[in-house]
Amino acid sequence: GVEPADSVAAMLPQVVYLTVHTPLTDETRNLIDMPQLEQLKPGVRLINCARGGIYNEAALVAGLKSGKIAGVALDVFTEEPCTDSPLFGMPGVICTPHLGASTEEAQTQVAVEACELLTDFLTTGAIRHAVNMAPLDARQLEAIRNEIGIAYRLGLLMAQWHHGNTKAVHLTYRGEVAEKNTKLISSAFAAGLLENALEEDVNIVNAEVLLRERGIELSEESRSEMGGFRNLISVDLTTDVRNYSAAATVFGQKMLRLVQLDGYRLEGYLDGILLLFSHQDVPGIIGRVGTIFGEHQVNIAQMAVGRSSDTPGSDAVGVLNLDSFPSDEAVAAVAAHPDIKSVDVVQLPPAGEMPPWLA
């Protein structure tokens, strides 16, 4: 039953009650002034609990005296605190101070509620009344815990892997995850992407805002149809150097796995210390990398390789999970191999560890 109006002028002749809830801007200043009195329906009642100056107070007085306006209710004024106004005491007028939440009762309730919100989050993980964040109770949180873990780790991975200045990020949710709270999952990715880049604390509540403040566009899309996995979270990150892409899923109940890197399919563990290297798929590469780390006393816990085709000699990527952080000398020795094009070390949380703001 709602009929939109093309303009304020088109709306005014139909108004019985007019209540405004906007900032005071050049567009809203004197929204109701002397010229608008002629457009209003006789007997109109005007309410302003937004900002003083949206209604011209002199015009309100004139409208009340002429009978065009039947009633006015204000708790905001052009000059505040307002101690004297011709509106005070006029029939059909209610004026109260612009108190906001300044009453004793309101201040007490705000303090109590703030403590309750913190207690809820720290004990159950529930998020209520957060700015720029949908409410989330503990049960909802548990339902997307794995997806939050995947997105957060993908954010950490992309932050340490990419080179150049980040311009835009696009997240794709496919399968069952597309039906879940993807807004929160995207925020978890943003938190991982920014965690080590800023001095201030980053979490799922402020991460997306901080990302956009730095001119990085974050977009997402969801596809309910399944591909090769029941759930898949993919990220495409654009820098001024090149584009980077990765995808991850969960196996079983809580096994987070990296299943795609720059378009190469593989199956890598999404935890601990990772060595990412692109190379030509020729004999001896994996053996030489293993030998180098053996010489530097670095143990390889897991290994995954993905290549662009089934034909040997094509482009390929490798992901090694290491038991300790490799020295600069070990990384340099790997990078010096003529068939290895790039080498990056990425540090992710241990298996099963949740983000610090969700632990």
Q: Which residues are catalytic?
A: 51, 80, 98
Strands (DSSP E) contained in 75-147 are 93-95
Kindly give, in sequence order, each residue whose CB lies less than 8 Å from that of residue 225, ignoring residues fewer than 6 positions away. 174, 175
CA pair distance 261, 248, nearest whole angstrom = 9
Q: Which two tokens stand for residue 8?
A: 């304020």
Query: What letter does residue 136 receive in the DSSP assignment?
Result: B
CA-based torsion, 183, 185, 188, 189: positive or negative: negative
SS3 state of residue 330: helix
Strand 93-95 to 69-74 pairing: parallel
Query: What letter does residue 14 receive in the DSSP assignment?
Result: G
Angle at 61 between CA 58 and CA 64, to 5 degrees: 150
Query: What letter does residue 177 receive in the DSSP assignment?
Result: G
Query: What letter does residue 349 receive in the DSSP assignment?
Result: P
CA pair distance 192, 202, nearest whole angstrom = 8
How many CB atoms sit inside 10 A of residue 210's CB? Answer: 18
Kindly give, in sequence order, each residue whose CB lies less than 8 Å from that of residue 188, ignoring residues fewer than 6 positions away. 147, 148, 149, 151, 152, 155, 204, 207, 355
Q: Which two tokens stand for residue 245?
A: 């892409």
Query: What letter does residue 163 receive in the DSSP assignment?
Result: -
Residue 203 near residue 211 (C-beta atoms within 8 A): no
Residue 329 near residue 304 (C-beta atoms within 8 A): no
Q: Which two tokens stand for residue 251?
A: 């196996």
